[in-house]
Amino acid sequence: MNEITPTREERIERLQGMGCKRKRVEDVRFVQGKGNYVDDLKLPGMIYGDFVHSPYGHARIKKIDASKAKALPGVIAVLTAADLKPLSLHYMPTLAGDVQAVLAEEKVLFQNQEVAFIIAEDRYTAADAVELVEVEYEALPVIVDPFKSMTKDAPVLREDIKDKTDGAHGKRKHYNHIFAWEIGDKEGTDSAIKKAEVTVKELISYQRVHPSPLETCQCVASFDKIRGELTLWGTFQAPHVIRTVASLISKIPEHKIHVIAPDIGGGFGNKVGAYPGYICSVVASIVTGRPVKWVEDRIENLSTTAFARDYHMTAEIGATKDGRVTALRVHVLADHGAFDACADPTKWPAGFFNIVSGSYDFPVAHVEVDGVYTNKAPGGVAYRCSFRVTEAAYCIERAMDILAQKLGMDPAELRIKNLIRREQFPYQSALGWEYDSGDYHAAMKQAMDAVGYAKLREEQKSRQAAFKRGETRELMGIGVAFFTEIVGAGPSRNCDILGIAMFDSAEIRIHPTGAVIARMGTKSQGQGHETTYAQIIATELGLPADDISIEEGNTDTAPYGLGTYGSRSTPTGGAATAMAARKIRAKAQMIAAHLLEVSEYDLEWDVDRFRVKGNPERAKTMKEIAWAAYNRVPPGMEPGLEAVNYYDPPNMTYPFGAYICVVDVDVDTGVVKVRRFYALDDCGTRINPMIIEGQIHGGLTEAFAIAMGQEIRYDESGNLTGPSFMDYFMPTAVETPKWETDWTTTPSPHHPIGAKGVGESPNVGGVPCFANAVNDAFKFLGSTHIAMPHDNWRTWTVAEKLGLHG
Amino acid sequence: MAKTHVTMKVNGASVEALVEPRTLLIHFLREQLNLTGPHIGCDTSHCGACTVDLDGKSVKSCTVFAVQADGGEVMTIEGIAAADGTQCGFCTPGMITRAYRLLKENPKPSEDEIRHGIAGNLCRCTGYQNIVKAIEFAAAKLSGATAREAAE
């Protein structure tokens, strides 16, 4: 070796592969304002669409008069359901097996429902025209409370399906019922709860919220009449699925539809589904022959495209007197709004809610979910969580705290007693999942040691005594949450969307100079895929990450994939990337053997090269092999160096974490100050610790927003109260707490690189941790369960009800 | 609608154009001048994605008419070069443009002053922690540079 030959460590460092804090390659364009978002797109002759919305939550449409709007100079057309009906486009299929009105036909079923679509030369004229459309309504009785949905005299909401006795998931119990779903051992659970020494039961509601990414949903549709081809740019978390759905709905052949998702300004589940704006833009472009842009405003975003949660969970736990759980029974009333447009894998109407047994060793459990219609917006998306997993985590983590309170046990101690033990993995849960791996007790101990848990409890005790003596008006709360996520949907045996298995894909091409282009079926919305996928390839193939371009979001060039949501990119797309890279490495090994004139079995891999065993000086680097792949392949071998992998995961992955939060509550103002928030996450193999930290910070901030203030609220008449950032809680840098992050690493045994996915864990674990902290503050005064969100008013109200204001 | 003639300096260059009196500055910048760095996130001046610098002050350009900027000096992200701390990148241009002005107003801000100083700019991805760090880093770098220049 001479002195300019890099050491092995230097060679590893140069790759910028897995495990290093590689700087995000996306930032170069973002910090210069050179991101490329949908609304930045400008096409010759482009025109604009805008919606007329219903002011009523439930009303019959008597008449739509668009004549004044059509007469306004600059208005090109006004579409209503009457125009879409002959094309059979007035309804569109939803991911959940229901249909959703694209434009309201005879009735409106929620406030701000889309009634007409204006097409105009510019966005100002379109907005003017919206005001000129006159719609005559006859108001109808409204249901906003899901508990009143299935009463005897409830108004019929969905007249279009009122006589259907069967829904997409079996028998319907009532004309406003959507589905019933159950899992687990009902008889065993009922009997175990009956026999239990101690039981707790609580209605735990998770309020309706909205993901509200900073960029709203938007698209540009451009139909080329001559070629019969449609190009659709949009904010799509799942561009390939959008193309398939667009083809099924429009009857345009799939290969003649080009879907492009450019940079996306955050998604959080909001941008998975198909919305009326997309359909109307496509129709408008076909009708006018011009590109049509549709950009939601914030009110439209908060009130029409998507919502999350609205789950009303009655949880019961049976336990022994010394705190061992014996059974779990949960009934959920799920408010799906006016159309069942929930974005879940098709066979899972309640998502993966059956992760509700959490991180605990329940011998038996049973879950029943009833979905109902109400006069609220459709959506039911997974707002920064895998499908209905944050609802499940909130439910079990609150219920465990309530059980601890009843038993007079410390909540951390109760959890430790019941956590699944390391030697039980792979663990078969009572509700049907096989948890792949975990070391829960080690994580819990590390978290408790890090925050000085015992000391915090001592401090709390003395503060409670001081409060009772009247020396302070502040209560201290300590929130503990231990969560298990289920992500990476999913195995084709049980996960599909409209019949398409939920695999994901990677295609890697190595060019003669060793430069790489890799294309993925997933789609980043800020997660940094261009940075991290390149790191996986760099480590697998020994080529520097800086020489690897990652492309996503163009359905013409990327292999088919199901997209990015439910923390699935790393478990599925990341696995596909590693598997495709390994195919390439296997071929590279044969080429190297040919070049070195040895058998391929005489070679071993060393960071960025194949070397001859026992003679490391004789080696061929990947770069050299790449060149040879285009001119000196072994006889009979195809030239080139590329591979595609479609990865069907054998199982989900199960990230977990232990979170602890300390709050101080001012009982006179209701202000909750977060003193400390510690988050330990185990996402298996860590690809880029810096990006993981960013994901955790962001997810915790969203959890903070949900737990402490967010709510999409309707009044009794079906009016949405406050659907703008004036009222919908968006924490600024001032309110947002500082985050302490930590980790353990338990690689997934079935994932090629052992990674599990991380983006959503902090939301799943964060929400119950905040809620438990606020509840914990009031617990010693006899309070059992306080509903979210814990804003100042509600917290003050709790103090008032407990008689703390004298 | 009758149009009004406006002239202004944008990122150092003189521009003139005809705009409707109701044209918002953000639409003028993005659609007439093709400066798509500043974004639109909320339409109600809460999110700050549209933040630009107008005559030495941060403004939310979704709440300023283009005619109000007539004769003024506008600077957008396209006129600034800056650090990292991003995820989806949508809030980034407004955030950096705000941080630029904040550091002009207060070259050595405390963490608390930074957090209050960017409270008009929402971010949904990062939880702010690394944005605050990036601004602290920029402040240190700028004041270091100033100190060095003074010493020379």
User: What average pLDDT does the segment A290-318 reach?
Assistant: 97
Name the band, by pLDDT with cuts 50, 70 and 90, for residue B39: very high
Q: Judge whether A77 lies within some domain.
A: yes
**ipTM for this model:** 0.94
Q: Per the structure block, which two tokens stand in for A664?
A: 């101080």
Residue B146: the pLDDT is 59
* CA–CA dist A677, A451 (Å, integer): 9
Q: Is A384 a catalytic residue?
A: yes
Share of chain A above pLDDT 90, in %: 97
Please give the Cα distance from A797 to A790 (Å, whole number): 10
pLDDT category at B142 given cuts 50, 70, 90 is confident
Domain limits for position A588: 8-35+504-647
Question: Which residue of chain A comes nearest to B126, CA vs CA?
Answer: A698
CATH number of the domain bearing residue A109? 3.90.1170.50
Are A433 and A513 in a shared domain? no
Asked if B94 and A32 count as a contact pair (C-beta separation under 8 A), the reply is no
pLDDT band at residue B150 under the 50/70/90 scheme? very low
Which ranges in chain B belong to alpha helices (H)? Answer: 25-27, 92-105, 111-117, 129-151
Arithmetic mean of pLDDT over chain A: 97
- Cβ-Cβ contacts under 8 Å, B122 against chain A: 214, 725, 730, 732
- Mean pLDDT in residue range B6-22: 97
Domain that holds residue B138: 4-151
User: What's the Rg (C-alpha) of chain B?
Assistant: 16
- Residue A293's nearest CA partner among A115, A132, A76, A112 is A76
**At residue B152, does pLDDT exceed 50?**
no
Extract the runs of DSSP E, i.e. beta strands, from A104-153: 107-108, 114-120, 134-139
Res A723 pLDDT > 90:
yes
| Statement to judge: residues A275 and A353 lie in one domain | no
Q: Among A309, A760, A769, A794, which one carries the catalytic annotation?
A: A760
Calculate how close chain B gets to A31, using CA atoms only, in Å: 6
Question: Is it the case that residue A796 has pLDDT exceeding 70?
Answer: yes
Provide the CA B118 distance to its chain's centre, in angstroms. 11
User: What is the mean pLDDT of the segment spanning A693-702?
Assistant: 97
Please determine, for residue A530, whether its predicted confidence score (pLDDT) is greater than 60. Answer: yes
> What CATH number does the domain containing A627 carry?
3.30.365.10
Q: Which of A214, A701, A726 sits opposite B90 (nearest CB)?
A: A214
Give B27 to chain A, closest Cα distance, Å: 10
Set A16, A111, A237, A527: catalytic member? A237
If DSSP codes are grouped into helix, strand and coil, which group holds residue A333? strand
Give the total number of structural domains in chain B: 1
- Tell which residue, A375, A312, A306, has the closest CA to residue A343: A306
Reported as a pLDDT band with limits 50, 70 and 90, residue A1 is very low
Taking residues A777-786, report their average pLDDT: 97
* Chain B residues closer than 8 Å to A725 by CB: 42, 44, 46-47, 122
Name the pLDDT band for A573 (thresholds 50, 70, 90). very high
**Is A83 a residue whose pLDDT tops 60?**
yes
Same domain, A515 and A629: yes
Q: Which of A213, A724, A736 sits opposite B127 (nearest CB)?
A: A736
A438 plus A458 within the same structural domain: yes
Point out the least confidently predicted range of A249-253, A658-662, A716-720, A761-765.
Answer: A249-253
The two structure tokens encoding residue A391? 């609802």
Q: Closest-CA residue in chain A for B83?
A: A31
Using a pLDDT cut of 70, give the percent of chain A over it: 100
Q: What is the pLDDT of residues A251-287, one digit of tens each?
A: 999 999 999 999 999 999 999 999 999 999 999 999 9
Give the β-pairing of A91-93 and B51-54: unpaired
Query: For residue B84, what pLDDT is reported?
Result: 67
- Residue A449 and residue A388 in one domain: yes
Residue A674 lies in a domain: yes
Cβ of B88 within 8 Å of Cβ of A265? The answer is: yes
Q: Would the pLDDT of B82 be above 70? A: no
Alpha carbons A97 and A95: distance in angstroms, whole number: 6
On whether residue A203 sits in a domain, the answer given is no
Report d(CA A133, CA A114) in Å as an integer.
13
CA quadruple A268, A272, A276, A281: dihedral positive or negative?
positive
Q: What is the pLDDT of residue B147?
A: 53
Residue A154's pLDDT band, with cuts at 50, 70 and 90, is very high
Which chain A positions have a beta carbon within 8 Å of B90's beta carbon? 35, 37, 213-215, 265-266, 526
Count structural domains, chain A. 3
Say if the Cβ atoms of B42 and A527 lie within 8 Å.
Answer: no
> Is the same domain home to A426 and A282?
no
Model pLDDT, residue A3:
57
- The per-residue pLDDT for range A348-386, each reduced to its tens digit, is 999 999 999 999 999 999 999 999 999 999 999 999 999
Amino acid code (one letter) for A796? W
Distance in Å, alpha carbon of A517 to nearest chain B alpha carbon: 22
What number of residues does chain A have?
A: 806
Q: Convert the pLDDT of each residue in A84-116 to its tens digit.
A: 999 999 999 998 999 999 999 999 999 999 999
| Residue A528 sits in the same domain as residue A611 | yes
A468-507 pLDDT tens trace? 999 999 999 999 999 999 999 989 999 999 899 999 999 9
Task: Judge contact between B46 and A726, C-beta under 8 A.
Answer: yes
Amino acid found at A594: H
Q: Contacts of residue B93 in chain A, CB cutoff 8 Å?
A: 30, 33
User: Distance, in angstroms, between B152 CA and closest chain A CA?
Assistant: 31
SS3 A222: strand
Together in a domain, A321 and A288: no
Q: Distance (Å, rounded) from C-alpha A523 to C-alpha A569?
A: 8
Give the nearest partner residue to B41 out of A34, A40, A214, using CB atoms.
Answer: A214
Residue B135's CATH number: 3.10.20.30
pLDDT tier, A806 (very low <50, low <70, confident <90, very high otherwise): confident
Q: Are A627 and A678 found together in one domain?
A: no
Of A300, A320, A352, which residue sits at a domain end?
A: A300
Q: Considering the domain boundaries, does residue A183 fall inside one?
A: no
Please confirm, yes or no, whether A495 is among the known catalytic residues: no
Domain-terminating residue out of A617, A647, A677: A647
A26 and A45 assigned to the same domain: no
Question: Which of A24, A215, A526 is opposite residue B39, by nearest beta carbon?
Answer: A215
Q: Is residue A190 part of a domain?
A: no
A17 and A113 belong to one structural domain: no
The verdict on A240 and A321 lying in the same domain is no
How far apart are the C-alpha atoms of A49 and A119, rounded to whole Å?
5
A147 domain residue, yes or no: no
Listed residues A620, A647, A674: the one ending a domain: A647
Do the chains contact at B46 and A726, CB–CB below 8 Å?
A: yes
What residues in B contact A702, CB-CB < 8 Å? 124
> What digits encode the pLDDT tens for the residues A7-20?
999 999 999 999 99
Is B124–A268 a contact, with Cβ atoms under 8 angstroms apart? yes
User: Can you give the pTM of this predicted structure?
Assistant: 0.97
